[in-house]
Chain A
Amino acid sequence: GAVVSQHPSRVICKSGTSVKIECRSLDFQATTMFWYRQFPKQSLMLMATSNEGSKATYEQGVEKDKFLINHASLTLSTLTVTSAHPEDSSFYICSASGAVGTGGRANYGYTFGSGTRLTVV
C-alpha cells in the first residue's frame, strides 16, 4: 500500500516553455504534498508544501510564480515549471502524507514519488 505515481520520469523541454509534473496517490488520500528539488550529488531541498484545497506554502527563495503548485484533490498534486530555463534543470521529487485510516501513514507518514529528471535545453 501507499504508492505515489510521479510522471513524467524524464522530460526534456526547450527554454521558455512550461512543464507540468504530476504526483498521484494511488491508494490513499494525500492530504499534504511536499515538493523537493535535488541537484546532482546534493541533498533534497524542500520547495513547497501544499495541503489539499489550499494554496501552497513556498520555502524562502522559491519563486511561487515560476513553480506553480496545484493540489486540488486528495489524489493529485501538480508542479508546473513555467518559462523554464537551463538553470531549472534538476531532479524534482514529491512526497505525500495522508490522513490516518486512509493508508497515508505508511513509511511513518511519507511516501515518495519516483522523481522527474527535467532537462531544459
Chain B
Amino acid sequence: AQKITQTQPGMFVQEKEAVTLDCTYDTSDPSYGLFWYKQPSSGEMIFLIYQGSYDQQNATEGRYSLNFQKARKSANLVISASQLGDSAMYFCAMREGTSYGKLTFGQGTILTVHP
C-alpha cells in the first residue's frame, strides 16, 4: 500500500492566485514528520515546509502553508500568490518514527503557473 499519495499528476494555476496540492499519508506510527519539497527542472530538491505529527498549529513558511488534517491523514500544501518561478515538480514526503530514518516520497505533482 502507498504510504504517501499525491493524486494530482499535474496542476495549473494563474499567476498571483493560490493553489492547493494534495497529499494523503498512511502510517500507524504516532510519531511522524511530513515534508514538502520543490524540484525544478534542474533536479535539486528544495525544502519548503515541515509538519510534525504532534504539532498543534499548521506550519507556515512565507507563501507556503500546510493544511494538516490529522484525522483525515492529509497534509496539503497551499501556495499563495503563485509566481512563474513556482512552476516545478512538488513532492510530499514522510518520515516515520522519531529518529532520522528514510523519507518516503509521493508520486509528485507538476505545477504549471500561467502568466
Contacts and interface: CB of A to CB of B under 8 A. Distances in A.
Interface of A: 32, 34, 38, 41-46, 49, 91, 93, 95, 97, 105, 107-110, 112, 114-115, 117
Query: From DSSP, what is the main secondary structure of chain A's interface residues?
Result: strand
Interface residues of B, number: 21
B102 A49 contact: yes
Nearest to B51: A108
Interface stretch (B21-29, B41-49, B66-74, B76-84): B41-49
Given A114-B43, A115-B43, A115-B44, A41 B102 contact: no
Contacts, number: 52
Contacts of B89: 41
A95 B50 CA distance: 16
A45 B106 CA distance: 10
B70 to A, nearest CB: 18
Given A43-B106, A44-B91, A109 B43 contact: no
Nearest to A105: B100
Contacts of B105: 43-45
